[in-house]
Amino acid sequence: MRVERNWVMHYGGSAWGKDKKDFFSLFIKPLIFSREYTVTDKINYLKGMNVSLEKLWEPLMKQHLVDIVTKVNVPVYFLHGTHDQQTSYILAREYFNKLDAPQKHFIEFENSAHMLTYNNEIDKFHKVLIEQIPDEVTVNN
């Protein structure tokens, strides 16, 4: 999987229009220089990524989400880059169409891949998170 993801990143399927040489400035530099997290937080973040991969990858590859979760009782938003080569755009769209939810939205990012926060449509990403989703989702007490 790591070899596959390495090639996906190399050809821009993770961050559209960016390749492996951009990895440091996209992923490592923001983590290192983030003031919101302690050094321990940053180390645990990296450790957690590896633990999650070790524990979850094999079970997730043996089952398909579309067979496990067919219905949810909460609003669902899929934010998906059309150039995503890590999580297939076509399969994500198929799953979205089959998923039963009280409210659901599939929001396309036409100039992005998997890592939406590192792609060319960061303003659209922020607008969806700050304006669209809060305006559409309310909690009734």
| pLDDT tens column, 36-72 | 989 999 899 889 988 988 888 888 788 888 888 999 9
What pLDDT score does 38 carry?
92
Mean pLDDT of 128-137: 82
Nearest to 74, CA basis, from 106, 98, 101: 101
What pLDDT score does 92 carry?
94
Measured in residues, the chain has a length of: 141
Would you say residue 141 has pLDDT above 50? no
Which percentage of the chain shows pLDDT scores above 90? 31
Mean pLDDT of 20-24: 69
* Reported pTM: 0.74
Pick 35 or 137 by higher pLDDT. 35
What pLDDT score does 104 carry?
94
CB 15 within 8 A of CB 119: yes
CB 114 within 8 A of CB 15: yes
Rg, Å, the chain Cα set: 17
CB 99 within 8 A of CB 136: no
Would you say residue 23 has pLDDT above 80? no
Give the containing element (helix H, strand E) for 106. Answer: strand 104-109
Q: Which residues of 41-69 are buried (b: 16+ CB within 10 A; e: fewer)?
A: eeeeeeeeeeeeeeeeeeeeeeeeeeeee
Pick 120 or 140 by higher pLDDT. 120
Domain locations in the chain as residue ranges: 2-136
